[in-house]
Structure 1
Amino acid sequence: DVGREMYIVKKGRLQVVSDDGMKIFHTLLEGAVFGELSLLNIPGSKHGNRRSASIRSVGYTDLFVLKKADLWEALREYPEAKRMLVLKGREILLKDGLLNEDAPLEEKSPEQWNQELREQTDRLLDKLSRLTA
């Protein structure tokens, strides 16, 4: 499924498991984070913004939920934290064979795309006005 939020374990224990639930890859404890890879738009991720792991609770678990928009708002304020999360995400994806290593380290932000489109539109309008003058 498409990731729309990430989670922080407040209390309890979770397991990262295979799709069939038979193999346990990792155990997550208090303070652990999961779901962030699908929110970070990591360049080269073969999963894109889809979830790449299955999680199950071992008994009662209490989680904090951070929505994608809230994460991105925080990361705009703390670009170094964003860089560290993306690098850690790339390491995880690479280890799991889910990263296209030829991809650039950073993709353009929506703001960068918008700015470039505005500049291109302005140039085209300028050329058009000169042609019709």
Structure 2
Amino acid sequence: MTVLIVEDDPMNFRVFSKILIKRGGLNVQGSEDVEEILRLAKGGEIEVILMDVSLARSSYQGKSVDGIQITQLLKADPETASLPILLVTAHAMEGDREFFLRQSGADGYISKPVVDHEQFVLQVQNAIIQARQGH
């Protein structure tokens, strides 16, 4: 089971990777390059994407894009539409969760910082299981 982490903060990437590998027994890849994200998503190895909402350095076709826009691209493509995407953000204000999910089409939402490591791993594993069952 491989998780693609789209995160522009190297510290957050390391923390997420360590938790998912050590506690979840999952494989992890990381990228914030949109072309690479799209290629990996279509490659068949990735089973879930953790998508940071705020990406400082990502661009696509000459324009700056954030995690919401990358999620929209993936959900609009029939090849990647069923791939589960969990938004990860520090914007955890009341109402943000529903707004981001509705706007992006993502399958779930994780707040930063991740405090409950067990719950974090369970949420990622459940997204994979639900996708395999076709939900």
The TM-score range, normalised by the shorter chain, is: under 0.3
Q: TM-score, normalised by structure 1?
A: 0.26
Q: TM-score, normalised by structure 2?
A: 0.25
Q: Which has the higher contact order (CA 8 A, sep 6+)?
A: 1
More helix by share: 2
Larger radius of gyration: 1
